[in-house]
Amino acid sequence: MSAASHEALRAELEQKKQELMARLERISANLRRGYEADSKERAKELEDNEVVDALGNEARSEIAKISAALRRLDAGEFGICTECGLPIEPGRLKAYPYANECIECAEFDERRRARQ
C-alpha cells in the first residue's frame, strides 16, 4: 500500500471513529437525562432507552473494530485476514474498511455462530 493510500485510509478510519464517538456521547447524554413523572411516559422512555442503549453498544463495537484496523494498519498487517492469513478482497475493504476477515472466513464464522 502506498504512503498516500495508507494516510487516506487512516484519515477515513479516524473520521469514522470520531463520528461514532460523537454519536456515543449523544447516546450517553440521552440515557443520563431524567425521566418524566407520568408513569405511562416513563414506561415509554424506558423502552426508548433500551433501543438507545443497543445503539450505543453497536457504536462501541464498531469503534473497537476501527481501533483494531488502525493497529493492523500501523503494524503493516492491514488487509490480511486474521483467520487464514490471505489478502482480504479489495472490494470488501472498500465496503467495510475495518474488515479483519476475508469473505470466506467471515461466512464460515457466521455459519458457525448460527449453529450454536
Q: Residue ranges per domain, the chain?
A: 1-78, 79-116
What's residue 37's pLDDT? 56
Report CA-CA distances (Å) from 22 to 16, 51, 69: 10, 18, 19
For cell 473497537, what's the residue?
64
Question: Which tens digits make up the pLDDT trace of 33-88?
Answer: 665 555 566 666 666 667 777 888 899 999 999 999 999 999 999 999 999 999 99
What's residue 40's pLDDT? 64
What's residue 55's pLDDT? 82
What's residue 66's pLDDT? 97
Mean residue pLDDT of the chain comes to 87
Tell me the three-class secondary structure of 16-52, residue by residue: HHHHHHHHHHHHHHHHHCCCCCCHHHHHHHHHHHHHH
